[in-house]
Amino acid sequence: MNYKVGVISGDGIGPEIVNEAKKVLDSVGAKFGHKFEYTEILMGGASIDVHGVPLTDEAIAAAKASDAVLMGSIGGDTTTSPWYQLPPNLRPEAGLLSIRKALNLFANVRPAVLYKELKDACPLKDEVIGDGFDMVIMRELTGGLYFGERKTIEENGVMKAYDSLAYDENEIRRIAIRGFDIAMKRNKKVTSVDKANVLDSSRLWRKVVEEVAKDYPEVTYEHMLVDNCAMQLVKNPRQFDVILTENMFGDILSDEASMVTGSIGMLSSASLNETKFGLYEPSHGSAPDIAGKNIANPIATVLSAAMMLRYSFDLSKEADAIENAVKKVLADGYRTIDIMSEGCTQVGCDKMGDLLCERI
Ligand code: NAD
C-alpha cells in the first residue's frame, strides 16, 4: 500500500536522524511491499528562517493532508540562537504547541524501554532492573492545568497567581479508551494514576476510567496515587505496562520513566488524535551541541517510525521488524556515542541507519 508521510525534519540533529528513519522505512517498504511518500513540512527554526514564523497555515494543511507525520526535533541553543530573541509566540517551540492544537493531538504515548544490552546506562540497581523493563506512559496532552484558566493579580499589595485544573468526562474518556486500546496491543495492564485523595478532577478521572475499564474485561487495571507512582517507577519499574494519566502528572512521570532507562537517544513517542492520525517524534530535543557531526543516535526516531506503522497504519509485522532490527543491532554490539560502552563498536548516525536497514 501507499502511505503519505508528512516529514518535519526540524532543527539541530533533526535532519540527520529523520534521514535515517526514512532509510529504515524504505527498507521496510521494500521488504513488505509498501511505498512511503514523503512531504517535507517546515516547522520550528527552519520555518522561522524561511517564513518568519515557526508554523504556517500551509504547513498545518500539509500535515493534515498526510496519513501521519514523522518529526525529528525542533529548536536551537536557547542561549545563543537568534530564534530565542523573538517573542515567545514566534520561537521554535510555539510551532509544536500550535501543531498539537491544530491536529487535536490529545493522547501522548511515550514508551520507556530498558533493553538488557543497555543495562549499564540505567541508574537503578541490577536486582531492580532484572531483565529490563518495557512500559508506556499514556499522557493526556491538551487539557488539565496547562490549558486551564490562569491569572496573576495583586490583592492588598500581595501578588497572587492562579492556575486551574479542569477536565470534563469526555476528555477523560477519550484518553482512557486510547490507554486501554494500547494495553490490548501489549501486556493488558493499565495503571491509572491520579491524586484522588485530594483533587476533584482526579475523582472524576477515577470514575470515568472505571466505566471505560468495563469495556475491556481482558485488561487488568489498578489505580495508583501519583506520589506513589513516582516512587514505584524507581522501586519496581517492571510492574508497569501502560501508565494512564493526566497532563501534568504525565509530563513529570514520563521524564522520570525515560531517565530510568538512562538513554534518551533511544526513546520514541507518539501524539495521537481520535482518528488514526498521529505525530511521531523522539522524546529528546534537537541536541544543537552535536548537530551536523554525524554522531547523533537515530534509534529514537527510527522507533518513532515503528510506532507510526503500528498505530497509524496498523502494520504490526512491519513495526516488529524495526523493533527487532534495533534489538539485533544492539546485540551485535553496535553503539552510537551516547550509549557506547566498553567492548562495543562505536558508529555514527548514518552507519547506525545502514546497520538497521541490513537487519530489517
Ligand atoms: P536535548 O534532548 O536536545 O539534549 C540533551 C542532551 O542529550 C544533549 O547533550 C544532547 O547532545 C543529548 N542528546 C539528545 N538527543 C540525542 C541523540 N539522539 N543522540 C545523542 N545524544 C543526544 O535537550 P536540550 O539540550 O534541553 O534542548 C535542545 C533544544 O531542543 C532546545 O531548543 C529545546 O527547546 C528543544 N527541544 C525540542 C523538543 C521537541 O522538538 N519536541 C523536545 C525537547 C527539547
Ligand 1, CB within 6 Å, residue ranges: 13, 17, 73-76, 78, 93, 96, 264-265, 281, 284-290, 296-297, 300, 338
pLDDT in tens, 93-127: 999 989 988 999 999 999 999 988 888 888 999 99
Average pLDDT over residues 19-23: 98
Per the annotation, the verdict on 146 as an active-site residue is: yes
pLDDT in tens, 278-298: 999 999 999 999 999 999 999
Atom of ligand 1 nearest to the CA of 74: 40
Q: Which of 77, 251, 350, 354 is catalytic?
A: 251
Cell 506512559 sits at which residue? 137
Pairing between strand 158-163 and 150-155?
antiparallel
Domains of the chain are 1-111+264-360 (3.40.718.10), 123-260 (3.40.718.10)
Categorize the per-residue pLDDT at 185 as very low, low, confident or very high, splitting at 50, 70 and 90: confident
The better pLDDT of the pair 34, 88 is held by: 34
Per the annotation, the verdict on 227 as an active-site residue is: yes
Exposed, middle or buried, 131 (CB in 10 Å: 0-12/13-18/19+)?
A: exposed
Pocket test of ligand 1: the residue of 264, 304, 326 to mutate, having most ligand atoms within 8 Å of its CB, is 264
Per the annotation, the verdict on 11 as an active-site residue is: no
For residue 270, report the distance from its CA to the centre of ligand 1, in Å.
17
What was the pLDDT predicted at 255? Answer: 87
Q: Whose CA is nearest to atom 11 of ligand 1?
A: 287
Is residue 146's pLDDT more than 90? no
Please give the Cα distance from 138 to 278 (Å, whole number): 14
pLDDT in tens, 310-319: 999 999 999 9
Per the annotation, the verdict on 84 as an active-site residue is: no
Has this prediction a pTM greater than 0.85? Answer: yes
Please give the Cα distance from 279 to 68 (Å, whole number): 6
CA angle 168, 173, 176 (to 5 degrees): 130
